[in-house]
Chains A and B, each alone.
Chain A
Amino acid sequence: MMKCKDVEFEVVVAPNEISADAAEHLLTCVTCQAFAEQHNGFEQQLAGVIDCEVPAGLRDSLRQQRGKPARLGWRLPVSLAASFFVAMVSFSLFTSDPVALPIDRLLVEHFEHDGARSIKASAQINPQQLARMGEAFGVRVKLTEPVSFVEKCPIGDSYGLHMVYQYKNKPITLIYMPDIPLEETVSFYYAGLKGWVKPMPKGSLAVLGGSTSELPEQGFTNEAMEWL
């Protein structure tokens, strides 16, 4: 059995890395439990003090700067926020199959990472900007509702067109993935999200929202965009 002082040492040094012996000790020692709880409060306070606001455009400027010389106007305001498919990219980059993870899981994982930020955007995207972005994907977006977020996202070995718009007063996320084909529509409902991914003439289109959101009918995809 470990001594309390040794357990305290482990708790202080790295609360997330304590040994099995220390964890076992913690289960039975009230004194150490109290210490660990108190220390947890300290860790949270410390994290709060160390943390700081990150400039809003930093990530986007870093994303755009690759291959360019440093300090070349990189702090220009960037209107679009970045949007990425972290889990999918990190996984699929090292596999030959771009959709090695189930597509619904990929979407949910992406949304968990980027959903809050994309939904936060409230200002309407300039129609010309939306048109330009759509053209890059060979589509014309025909949504009648204002789009508040549009971003080119890395997805597997290719990119997706990520958009957010309001549908019945709830934000709905659309992700057009031209290089990820699908044989049939996939519906999903988990992790507080629900949605479906539908095969398109080229690639697939995902529609997702919160568990309480009302999603548009699947036929809506035919009206949402047309191919150029």
Chain B
Amino acid sequence: MQEKRKQLEYERLVLVYSDQLFRYAIWLCRDKNMAEDLVQETCLRAWKSLDKLKDVSSSKAWLITILRNEHARQYARYRPDMVDFDLDLVSFRDTNNDTSADAFALKQALNELANEYKEPLLLQVIGGLSCEEIATVCNITKSATMTRLFRAKQKLREVLRPEEDQVSR
């Protein structure tokens, strides 16, 4: 790949996906600074291996896979030292901030979800990945992805409307 073209493609990736990468990273790292470092490392690796990205339509899944691998490689081992997830970290700090009790309960329930359920959900909500893409990134089948998404959302819905969900069953 020509240097100039590579540079432009890199900038396109940063433009389009850096926000999503950060939002996903902060849920993985549970720390703002670590999330920034993780995204930085991800982009650095993406830059180095940009020649390998042949299909531009898979850019997002490609970047998220790099981020996941990088997180697993560099940050997972620090997790035992982490304090409890500061829920405020992932709250809005702008005018759209939802400070309702429902939002807090939802955030807490999300944080307590097992990773196998939380991850597909975050990839869908933050990254806008399709079930197919989530399956590829998480290295599971599409049907497993769908089941996990369903269970994750079901669990979260129960937190918000416990009586309603029980009645509807």
Which A positions have Cβ atoms within 8 angstroms of B? 9, 12-14, 16-17, 42-43, 45-55, 58-59, 61-63, 65-68, 70-71, 74-75, 82, 84, 86, 89-90, 93-94, 113, 154, 157
* B36 pairs with A58, CB closer than 8 A: yes
Complex formed: what's the CA distance from A154 to B43 in Å?
A: 18
* A59 pairs with B18, CB closer than 8 A: yes
Using known A-B contacts A50-B110, A62-B14, A74-B40, determine if residue A13 contacts B131 with beta carbons closer than 8 Å.
Answer: yes
Scan B61-100; emit 1 where CB is below 8 A from any A CB, else 0: 0000000000000000000000000000111111010100
Query: Nearest residue in A to B89 (C-beta to C-beta)?
Result: A52
* B106 pairs with A49, CB closer than 8 A: yes
* B12 pairs with A89, CB closer than 8 A: yes
Which B positions have Cβ atoms within 8 angstroms of A? 4-5, 7-12, 14-16, 18-19, 22-23, 26-27, 32, 36-37, 39-41, 43-44, 47, 56, 89-94, 96, 98, 102-103, 106-107, 110, 122, 124-126, 130-131, 146, 149-150, 153-154, 156-157, 160
* A61 pairs with B40, CB closer than 8 A: yes
* B23 pairs with A65, CB closer than 8 A: no
Residues of A within 8 A of B103 (CB): 45, 48-49
Complex formed: what's the CA distance from A86 to B56 in Å?
A: 13
Question: Which one of B8, B41, B98 lies within 8 Å of A49 (CB-CB)?
Answer: B98
- Tell me, rounded to whole Å, the shortest Cβ–Cβ distance linking A76 to chain B: 13
Using known A-B contacts A55-B36, A59-B19, determine if residue A93 contacts B98 with beta carbons closer than 8 Å.
Answer: no
